[in-house]
Amino acid sequence: MDVFFTQHSLLAVVILTIAAVTLLVCPVRLAKSMAAGAGTLACAVATLPAIFAPSSETLPVVLVCTIAALASMLLLPSDLERDDDAVESTSLILLGAAGGIVLATTTNLLSMMLGLETLSLSAAVLTALGRGPRALEASFKFFVLGAVSVATMVYGMALITCATGSLDLGAPLPVTDLERHLRTAGLVLLVLGIAFELAIVPMQFGALGAYTVAPTAVAGFAMTTSKLAAGLAMLKVANVAGGEVLHPILVALGTLSILWATFAALAQVELRAMLAYSAVAHAGFLTFGIGLGEVGRQAAVFYAVTYVAAVALVFASLAGRSGAPITLASLRAQPLDRLRSAGLALGLLSLAGVPPSPGFWAKLGVLVPGWSAAGPWWTILATTGGVLGALYYLRPLPDLLAGARDAATTSTAAVPGSRFAVTVLASVVLLLTAMPFLATQLAAITNR
Amino acid sequence: MTFFAWAFLFTLPGLLLTALGVTVGKGKRPGSASVAGPVLVALAGLVWLCGSQVPVVVRIADWLPVLSDSAFSLRLDALSAVMLVVVGLVSACVYVYSLSYMRGDPGQRRFFVYLDFFVAAMNLLVLGGNLAVLLAGWASVGLASFLLIAFWRDREHTLSAGLQALGANAVGDAALFLAAAMVPAGMGDLTTLPSATQGFPGGATLLAWLLVVAACAKSAQGLLYFWLPSAMAGPTPVSALIHAATMVAAGVYLLVRTAGTLALAPSVLETTAWIGAVTAVLSGFASLAQTNYKRGLAYSTCGQLGFMFAAVGFGAPFAAFFHLVTHASFKALLFLCAGAVIHAAHGEEELSKLGGMRHKLPQVRWLTLIGSLALCGLPLVTAGAYSKDLILEAGLHAMPALGWLLVGSVFLTGLYAGRLYFGVFGATSEHESAGRAPADQAHAVHAPDRLLIAPLLPLALGAIVLGWFGSSLGSTLQPLLGTPPEIHAVSKLTWLAGALGLGGFLTARLWQSAQRGNARIPAFGVPFADLLASLGRAIAAASTLLHSGRLSSYVFAAVLGIGTLLLWTMTGRA
């Protein structure tokens, strides 16, 4: 039997899964804090084997997935419709993290599908746990479109297996023309299956709804873990032998995602909806970088890392404000406290790609090689989308910075743990601002 | 000297102290801890200029390994040193002025934090040794400008004005981004850009176009002029510092810095000259149509920046840079004087309500007169005359038709400068012609305090004497910009331009008298920014139509996308 992914990441997956199942079948009704504590413990234990992993990509992936899970577990309870859902939600987050690790670290097609399915199913159910009927509707759409993507992926797997006789992504290239064509078609379908989790055109609609109405912590979890895992999976697919044929497709899909999502985001007045569209635009940049091939590989990973840090910071700052729409007016009427305002502002600056935030360096890293690798026109279009994005990200900034001044008396109550999460994530973003090479070290590691 | 290359960090301690609420001095004024920062910046530039003038290059290798040139690079040379002095001195004056102007504003501390951030970003732009660092400073000043324009959140249109500025600047950012993408190998050193363009499709011409578009956006030239008048919604010290003296001049700085690359693209240079000259003339007419004091000055800034662009187009980067330096002094002076007037009139900015200020604000009146005459280019005794003459000379030599157009526009400059001056400080027929002061203003005017007047004095001094240092500046910049042209204190052109400027200024006096202080031409032009905004809104609305909420549409889109991509790949088009 092939070793589909390293034993260390497998061990992390097993630990997370056992913890999730144990929580679900536990006969005693656990309190919110107990469930979160158990989840935290599981995340911490799952990280341990990754520390000793010989494969250099295991630790960063496991760390990001478990930290995102940890943050979501801490911040989720205040967003839930019913307190009784705390145990189920903790369990689903742990399963989602396990799915993310599998998707990001495996080269086996079956495991890849398993990871994608686990991740999207847990996200679909978590979305349904949000407040109001819109959450159920979004969850249902996410589920149906997820099924379409999995079906696409299965067709792709079937074609690749038919052509190469193996379920391994790195199997030797087929000999005959027909087999090569089958494999190419399979790779395209595989990419489109992953595109759903990454939320790029034309598979973006399910994620858009879920990101907008899911509980804040779930949306944050989906935008971080899903994006990173799906991005790394797509990177693997795009860089297999013969995967060059995918590069122009990825550049085109990335650019379309950037442009469509940027313009659509300009029309949004609600912050969560704007962030949902922006997630599509960022996935577009990531895909654009992956589509550049070898020259964009390191930049794509760097982009994913900086995006994950920024978006996690934004959602940690917004924790506890699910339900009511978050608009400029509501931010003025109910300003956040100073720390969370500053965190949100910093996160938005990085998402906007305004210097000297790490988001700026990430965009520069992806777009600069684009001119020679993808051609001037694609680069011009992607750059246009990139700079116009600043128009919607920066809109709330004056209010955030001005409101933070006197928020001590008028702010909404902070969710326990959110201040800690904001502090840690803001430190990470600031560290990457001054020393972006730290993220590129990570990118270099995964490049080996 | 290496230490001075880090001058962009000098305002950051002040930023932190002010953010933490620390004040210095007796008055405990918020923001007082920030004042030392820009002074140190100016000193850094001065010390370098007074020293051996050996260029300092700082490179931190592998700072951003995803780029082909991965270094964080800073460069302190004659051009950046002079800019440090200009930015530092004007900023210092604006800081001191703001201590009084912003007193009592609940956001005063935040205001100074934004100012500190702006000065740091502007200095990063100036000191950037490669395109990546220059771009970081370039986009950061845009952010600072947005935050400062939208500073007063309780006032109408400040956010939309800020977004207009952000949108126009985004065009420039994109152009510079693409320039960086086009010559990744040339990012290592701005001075090697010309050689880095070899072998790239479009070569130097395309790169030059991108640089000019970027500069037009930052300096409000051509079709991208619209954001600057709107930016006057911000506090007046911001208008003086950012939207008159420093940030808007960054476009000119970029063109001067990359003059070697532009020289390889004669067609781009010619177009740049046209853009500058046409902007100068049209801005002059637009200024004559304004009813708002600050907007009148803003169009004047567009016009003077047009002179600088034209100079670059004429192949005279030194003349452009010299005018940048003198303009920073007299335009900051004019804006700060305008601020003193507006402050005295309780925030009133409409020219029709500001008449007859000469008795209320005598000091401000004389200082405004100095600034206005420098703007007109009064020979011998104002700095503007020296720098403007160089531009006109270059124009008459390189492109005579445009040169004469600019000579003619000097009359227009005098006319709008005079209209603003006499509109505010001249006698109004309703009041002073009857031998009495406007009664409602007599007891309502705020007398400016020492902090509001003192910073105007060095700027006024600069508006007079800076022209005399043109030759020294030329020899300092010679290694970078080549042999400077000879600067004449007196020539036929000097007298002609001076007479036209002064003639326009005095004509405005007669015009204002005839029109009872309300002289203006009818507004003209197309609401360009509104059209762009409507177009953007329409595209945005069309984009969201696809996200209809119907599951069947989503599945259809997904299946259609899958089919199209499969077809694309299998037919071998990918």
Is pLDDT larger for residue B556 or for residue A36? B556
pLDDT, position B503: 96
| End-to-end CA gap in chain A | 25
For residue B304 the two structure tokens come to: 């003077």
Q: What is the mean pLDDT of residues A217-239?
A: 88
Asked whether residue B551 carries a pLDDT value surpassing 60, the answer given is yes
pLDDT, position B516: 79
Contact A245 B574 (CB under 8 A): yes
Is pLDDT larger for residue A328 or for residue A108? A108
CA distance A405 to chain B (A): 8
pLDDT, position B387: 94
- A379 close to B (CB below 8 A): yes
- A298 close to B (CB below 8 A): yes
List the single range of A263-277, B190-204, B252-266, B402-416 with lowest mean pLDDT: B190-204
The C-alpha atoms of residue A265 and residue A444 are separated, in whole angstroms, by 33
Q: Predicted ipTM?
A: 0.82
User: B145: closest CA among B131, B132, B134, B161?
Assistant: B161
User: A224: closest CA among A266, A282, A271, A272?
Assistant: A282
Contact A249 B569 (CB under 8 A): yes
Asked whether residue B58 carries a pLDDT value surpassing 70, the answer given is yes
Q: What is the mean pLDDT of residues A388-394?
A: 85
Q: Given pLDDT bands bounded at 50, 70 and 90, which one contains residue A268?
A: confident
| Per-residue pLDDT tens digits for B510-520 | 998 888 778 88
pLDDT, position B491: 85
- A210 close to B (CB below 8 A): no
Residues 62 through 121 of chain A touching chain B, CB cutoff 8 Å: none
Cross-strand pairs, B56: B76
Q: Which residues of B527-552 are buried (b: 16+ CB within 10 A; e: fewer)?
A: eebeeeeeebeeebeebbebbeeebe
pLDDT, position A228: 87
Residue B6: list chain A partners with CB under 8 A.
none
Strand, coil or helix: B292: strand
Cross-strand pairs, B75: B57
For residue A123 the two structure tokens come to: 């996200």
Q: What are phi and psi of A184, to 5 degrees?
A: -60, -45
Q: Given pLDDT bands bounded at 50, 70 and 90, which one contains residue B292?
A: very high
Q: What are phi and psi of B74, to 5 degrees?
A: -120, 150
Mean of pLDDT over chain B? 88
- Cross-chain CB nearest to A365 (options B64, B140, B178): B64
Contact A369 B555 (CB under 8 A): no
Residue A388: list chain B partners with CB under 8 A.
167, 170
- A276 close to B (CB below 8 A): no
| Per-residue pLDDT tens digits for B378-419 | 998 899 999 999 999 999 999 999 999 999 999 999 999 999
Q: What is the mean pLDDT of residues B123-133?
A: 91
Report DSSP letters for A147-173, one per residue.
HHHHHHHHHHHHHHHHHHS-SBTTPPP
Cross-strand pairs, B76: B56
* Amino acid making up residue B404: W
Asked whether residue B201 carries a pLDDT value surpassing 70, the answer given is no
The residue whose two tokens read 């008795």 is: B359
Distances (CA, A) of B292 to A194, A441, B349, B354: 56, 54, 6, 10
Percentage of residues in chain B with pLDDT exceeding 90?
57
pLDDT, position A407: 46
- A255 close to B (CB below 8 A): no
Residue B544: list chain A partners with CB under 8 A.
264, 267-268
Asked whether residue A325 carries a pLDDT value surpassing 70, the answer given is yes
Q: What is the mean pLDDT of residues A426-435?
A: 87
Percentage of residues in chain B with pLDDT exceeding 70?
93
pLDDT, position A55: 64
Nearest chain B residue to A151 by CA: give it. B559
| Per-residue pLDDT tens digits for A210-226 | 888 888 888 888 888 88
Is pLDDT larger for residue B376 or for residue B537? B376
Is pLDDT larger for residue A324 or for residue A350? A350
- A391 close to B (CB below 8 A): yes
| Per-residue pLDDT tens digits for B142-168 | 999 999 999 988 887 888 888 888 888
* Amino acid making up residue B128: G
pLDDT, position A35: 81
* Burial zone of B76 (CB within 10 Å; 0-12 exposed, 13-18 middle, 19+ buried): buried
- Cross-chain CB nearest to A360 (options B106, B139, B162): B139
- Cross-chain CB nearest to A354 (options B139, B201, B554): B139
Quick check: B431 and B355 in contact, CB under 8 A?
Answer: yes
CA distance A286 to chain B (A): 14
Distances (CA, A) of A405 to A399, A410, B106, B315: 10, 10, 9, 50
Contact B163 A370 (CB under 8 A): no
Q: Given pLDDT bands bounded at 50, 70 and 90, which one contains residue A10?
A: confident
Q: Within 10 A of A448 (CB to CB), how many other CB atoms are there?
A: 7
| Per-residue pLDDT tens digits for A141-179 | 899 998 999 999 999 999 999 999 888 888 888 778 888
Q: Which residues of B495-509 are buried (b: 16+ CB within 10 A; e: fewer)?
A: eebbebbbbbbeebe
Q: Given pLDDT bands bounded at 50, 70 and 90, which one contains residue A8?
A: confident
pLDDT, position A5: 57
Looking at chain A, how many residues does it have? 448
| Per-residue pLDDT tens digits for A65-100 | 888 888 888 777 666 666 677 788 889 999 999 999
Report DSSP letters for B345-406, one per residue.
TTT--BGGGS---TTT-HHHHHHHHHHHHHHHT-TTT-HHHHHHHHHHHHHHHH-HHHHHHH
User: A318: closest CA among A349, A299, A344?
Assistant: A344
Residue B162: list chain A partners with CB under 8 A.
398
- A375 close to B (CB below 8 A): no
pLDDT, position B142: 92
The C-alpha atoms of residue A30 and residue A77 are separated, in whole angstroms, by 13
Strand, coil or helix: B196: helix
Q: What is the mean pLDDT of residues B461-478?
A: 93
Q: Given pLDDT bands bounded at 50, 70 and 90, which one contains residue B200?
A: low
Contact A192 B64 (CB under 8 A): no
Q: What is the largest CA-CA distance in chain A?
A: 72
| Cβ-proximal residues to B27 (8 Å cutoff; 6+ apart), any chain | B99
pLDDT, position B432: 54
